Structure formats: C-alpha cells, structure tokens
Amino acid sequence: MRRSRAELIYAVLEVLHGQPLKITHIMHKVNINCLILRNILDILVQTGFVEVKITNKPPQGKRLTSATNTRHNEVYRLTEKGVKFYLEVRSSSRAINELIEASEKQRYLCDAQKIKTNRIG
C-alpha cells in the first residue's frame, strides 16, 4: 500500500525524534527513496521542524577533500519546534485511532443486536 506524503513526513519526524541521524539511516528506517526523502527533508528544514548539522568528521575510510564529501557528513535532527509538532501530531493520531476503534466497537454491538433481534422475532 502506498503511503501518503503526510504519512511519510510523520515517519521521518518519528525516526528523528530523540536522535539525530544521517540521511542514509533515515532512508533505511523509513524505507523511502532518497529523492523523496531529500524533498521531505527540504520541506521540514524550510518550515523549521528539522535542522541540518555538518560534522567535521569525514566518513570512515575517506578524506574530506571536496564539497561533495560534506553531504556524507550531514546530520538531521528535530528542532524544538519540530519536537512540539511531532508530539501534537502523535497525540492527535492516537485520539483519532481511539475514535475509530470506539466507532468500530459500536458498529459491532449494533450488528450483534440486530442479529439477536432477528433471531427472537
């Protein structure tokens, strides 16, 4: 099943909550294409939910000699604004799921009552 853009954004926020990660780690944890992830990260950076830090440490086994290598040193993390947003969305998502479960339970009880009524009548 294909995930919506909102679901992908939420998944990125979820994996970044509590720990800064490199793009490849985010990619694997969210199971998302690099181009789509870069697009989402750009949106999250522009809105102030995520910030990018460039570490001075070169990738293992490589020397930091050109601008292209700095991409490997980018670490993404949630800002305070991003953490607040993530927690609000998570809270809302839980409330919606509880509402759906209650609705399904109510529908099940109504269906059971109809079956019971049909047997009696």
* Lookup: tokens for 6: 């909102």
pLDDT at 71: 59
Percent of the chain with pLDDT over 90: 51
Residue 116 belongs to a domain: no
Round to whole Å and give the CA distance between 7 and 93: 11
Residue 37 belongs to a domain: yes
pLDDT at 121: 55
If pLDDT is split at 50, 70 and 90, which confidence band does 110 have?
confident
Query: Is the full-model pTM beyond 0.85?
Result: no
Residue 30 belongs to a domain: yes
Neighbours of 26 (CB within 10 A): 21
pLDDT beyond 60 at 69: no
pLDDT at 65: 57
Number of structural domains the chain divides into: 1
Residue 53 belongs to a domain: yes
Arithmetic mean of pLDDT, 53-57: 78
Residue 102 belongs to a domain: no
Arithmetic mean of pLDDT, 9-25: 94
pLDDT at 59: 57
Residue 100 belongs to a domain: no
For the chain, how many helices (H) and strands (E)?
Answer: 5, 3
36 lies in which domain range?
5-93
| 13 contacts 77 by C-beta, under 8 angstroms | no
Residue 9 belongs to a domain: yes
Label residue 32 exposed, middle or buried (CB < 10 Å: 0-12, 13-18, 19+). middle
Q: What is the CATH number of the domain that holds 29?
A: 1.10.10.10
Residue 45 belongs to a domain: yes
